[in-house]
Structure 1
């Protein structure tokens, strides 16, 4: 499938999900490996350039497109959706604020499926407060020398470049974001991802030892880091992860519905004819629909630049994460013993869905921010 065929991004994603992503989802989960086949297909289709402006050869997609695509992928495979999302967030940072030379170098390669990116924000000592990095960045002539370690780097050593958040040259200036090539001397990935869910997202640590980053690899102006986090990274990531969680909930609901219709008792009745099961199915359907609509509306508001969009964006992750946990638990109840085994994908959806609430910004942090915002209190 090619861009020239005039398919929408969601239609491209649906095709790849059906042909490549879904058939390999259980294998990716079982083997805990990066979804290379999916990324090959995404690169060839042009979908890795979803958020690359058309002037650089990309699809010029919106946040609405991103949340719709991550939903499609999430329904097929949570790990693939997560990997694609982090690549897309890194792409959005470059597209939004990078210098023209950086955009020419990176965005065209991304659009052609030649480069995979990701964020390197989290640190062991700062946890969800990734906007307070401990990594050191020393300015030396025309280079910045990085030393330190980042945790939970999705895509890990399959990424070609990292968007790294660091302190600027002085505390008064704030934070910087840097483009770092993973092939640079001193960059080393360590460990392996052994989470209970999203087992193919290759979220591992990266260590920087005297890594020299050219000054022209600072994204935007020095000190733009915090603004980039809240104006670009946060809405892109939140809406993408919200879409993914809606997809996980939708996948679990359809798996449970199919099982309830196919499972027959000795007297010929189907499982779905039991009233309690009908209640569960109705509750799951309503939860999936409400979360999906909430995320769609939040993304549209963000794309339109509405003043109150930020509240809807933050709430979208809260709603989608909580509904995904609820729906996958109900799906387990519907499917019973079969759902508890790998015979059905329900247990994988349940494990994958649990990640959304603890992924920064966590549900608790977002609720605090929303609460402060509606009460006209400062966030920090």
Structure 2
């Protein structure tokens, strides 16, 4: 149910991931209970070099591939969905700098990311537009080689602990909200203030509260061309978000199923549960089937992204959107079915070793994290452009 990282060679991630998951497991109950950012897990991501997974070896990173990102995200998702999402979103940001940052910006940032010195947060949400990637309301201004940032974002995952930010804003002089630029800002270049309290149902350790960001940065910190964010979104932000998120969700649901199976096969489980029950076996089967479907779609989408194809083509956008929608729905449904299968004691209560209660709360966010409803609308429009129903 997972795409394992390579076991040998320069991309051996197994030991690093084992170290991070051990730290995560030690603190996950507390960070979830208290809605605290997983500082210890982030420290482990820094010290193991995993924050530099997508940074090329020439800049001191691990030189990982998208397949490595997917594998690592699944592994971290099994331990703590918040940590997995924090990691996947950071890797998405790092890849944008690798692919679209100019040489000076890459030379400045990538070695620090590789060393674990820069954890990146994404600032794309705005009041009124939600998380819609391809529009922006706040506008970049400035002169004399500087860009002025004045930005409020209602949701910034891990923003209070980030070392740097990739921020979407309307381009200087733009007259429409679709003329969007992406700009990098280091924490030291900004005044940052929080707004409100982070007390969600699930994903409590992600600490995705609102932030107000203001300051100025050199004009060279634009990532890509002014007004060119749509290309970055189509080639990096969208694909890596849907692959990374889906991998984390699959890991969370697969970890839940694994813990259930271990409980059922344990001596205590054999005494408590009737392992010949047709109802129990059928419910386990349905949960496994849902995860197999997500895994197959994830593998297919990963292959398309790795092929180097133009990801803006309708059939490929439909595939990637279908992955996100399906993973969000089916991973949550798989865990929900396990809650029903195990009942009140081991399905519903917080102190069960299955941790189904936390997995269910966390996975409920998946359909809301860039809304499935919004993606269905986009897919409806895309489908109208593909009358032949061609698959990627």
| 1:161-172 superposed matches below 5 A | 161-171=164-174
Structure 1 contact 168–222 (Cα < 8 Å) conserved = yes
1:237-266 CA-to-partner distances (Å, cap 9, x unmatched) read 11100101111111221222233334868x
- Bigger CA drift: 20-29 or 283-292? 20-29
Distance (whole Å) between structure 2 residues aligned to residue 223 and residue 49 of structure 1: 28
SS for the counterpart of 1:166 is strand
1:201 aligns with 2:206: yes
1:283-342 CA-to-partner distances (Å, cap 9, x unmatched) read 111111221121122112101123554332221111111111111101111221122111
Distance (whole Å) between structure 1 residues aligned to residue 317 and residue 280 of structure 2: 37
Structure 2 contact 140–171 (Cα < 8 Å) conserved = yes
- Matching residue within 66, 73, 77 for 1:70: 73
Which position in structure 1 is the counterpart of 2:319?
Answer: 312
Distance (whole Å) between structure 1 residues aligned to residue 190 and residue 60 of structure 2: 30
Number of aligned positions between the proteins = 373
- Matching residue within 148, 152, 155 for 1:149: 152
The CA deviation at 1:18 is 4.2
| 1:191-340 superposed matches below 5 A | 191-209=196-214, 211-262=215-266, 268=271, 270-306=273-309, 308-338=315-345, 339-340=347-348
The CA deviation at 1:108 is 0.6
The change in CA–CA distance for 1:368 and 1:263 in structure 2 (over 3 A counts) is: farther
The CA deviation at 1:9 is 5.4
TM-score scaled to structure 1, two decimals? 0.91
1:22-65 CA-to-partner distances (Å, cap 9, x unmatched) read 23222221121111221222222211111111211111222222
Distance (whole Å) between structure 2 residues aligned to residue 237 and residue 268 of structure 1: 43
Which position in structure 1 is the counterpart of 2:51?
Answer: 48
Distance (whole Å) between structure 2 residues aligned to residue 19 and residue 324 of structure 1: 23
- Bigger CA drift: 343-352 or 121-130? 121-130
Which position in structure 2 is the counterpart of 1:176?
Answer: 181
1:104 aligns with 2:113: no
SS for the counterpart of 2:172 is coil
Structure 1 contact 64–296 (Cα < 8 Å) conserved = no
Which position in structure 1 is the counterpart of 2:3?
Answer: none
Distance (whole Å) between structure 2 residues aligned to residue 130 and residue 301 of structure 1: 22
1:140-180 CA-to-partner distances (Å, cap 9, x unmatched) read 22111122311211111210110000001122681111111
The change in CA–CA distance for 1:10 and 1:372 in structure 2 (over 3 A counts) is: farther
The change in CA–CA distance for 1:333 and 1:259 in structure 2 (over 3 A counts) is: farther
Structure 2: state its 5+ residue gaps.
1-5, 388-392
| 1:5-44 superposed matches below 5 A | 6=9, 8=11, 10-12=13-15, 14-44=17-47
Structure 1 contact 156–189 (Cα < 8 Å) conserved = no
Which position in structure 1 is the counterpart of 2:349?
Answer: 341
Which position in structure 1 is the counterpart of 2:385?
Answer: 376
SS for the counterpart of 2:295 is helix
Runs of 4+ in 1 over 6 A off after TM superposition: none
Structure 2 contact 78–252 (Cα < 8 Å) conserved = yes
Which position in structure 1 is the counterpart of 2:136?
Answer: 133
1:366 aligns with 2:375: yes
Which position in structure 2 is the counterpart of 1:95?
Answer: 98
TM-score scaled to structure 2, two decimals? 0.89
Structure 2 contact 66–306 (Cα < 8 Å) conserved = yes
Structure 1: state its 5+ residue gaps.
none
Distance (whole Å) between structure 2 residues aligned to residue 145 and residue 216 of structure 1: 13
1:84-130 CA-to-partner distances (Å, cap 9, x unmatched) read 12211111111110011111111111111111111111012211324
